[in-house]
Amino acid sequence: MATITRARISEMEFVEANKIDEQKQPFTDKRNRIENRNMYRRRVTWRPPIGDRLKANVDGAFRKESRKGAIAVVIRDNEGKVVAGSAEIVRATSSLSVESMTLRSALILAKNLQLENILFESDSLPFIQVVKAKETIGEIDPILRDIYVLMEGISNSGFTWTHREGNQLAHQVASLAINGRLNQNWTWDQPLEIRGIARREAHNTFKQAMTEQQHFQHNFQALQIMRRQ
């Protein structure tokens, strides 16, 4: 709980500091700052795992009035191809309980499919911090205990955080599920919304690989020229 508290306090301090800085800046500077922030958010996207590793993105949706949640898991390879996935409706008491259930579901799916060398990614920074530190939180303690046991049974597993913009596919799956618009075979018969995001992010992955290759070739050629001089 201390980790979550520190993370929330730091986030609040960061937001307040930005508000103060923006108030001191001229209008044109504030506009440029907002435009730069929006450009950065547009650049953030799903990043493929390295080598033969897999990545499992998880996300959840929660409705307080009905105490209903949806949990979504999407597992992809380094080309952006969907290897496996799951989505289900759950009873929940908070968004935190939904987030914890999504990760547990991802670990169970990976274990059932005997998947290893997998990176689990969420856009909930406080929750990822808790899992990495193997801390306990009273509200979700039973789920966390399940998670820590499951972690030990998956070789070369890891946990990381991404911006919401980098978790769009899992977010869309959870959104469709909680609104009753997701069929059971969605991983094979993907709705247009999911197919569009998957294709776009796979395309971005290809572009990123080409850019990195071009940078490597440029640096290699520059090094060769320097050695001849």
Q: What is the mean pLDDT of residues 65-84?
A: 96
Strand-pairing partners, residue 56, are 75, 120
CA atoms of 22 and 69, how far apart (whole Å):
37
Which pTM was predicted?
0.74
How does pLDDT run across 80-134, given as a tens digit for each residue? 999 999 999 999 999 999 999 999 999 999 999 999 999 999 999 999 999 999 9
* Residue that is written with structure tokens 């998880």 in the block: 58
| Between residues 111 and 210, the one the model is more confident about | 111
The residue extents of the domains of the chain are: 54-204
Q: Please, are residues 76 and 54 in contact by the beta-carbon 8 Å criterion?
A: yes
CATH number, domain 54-204, options 3.40.470.10, 3.30.1330.30, 3.40.605.10, 3.30.420.10? 3.30.420.10
**pLDDT value at position 3?**
43
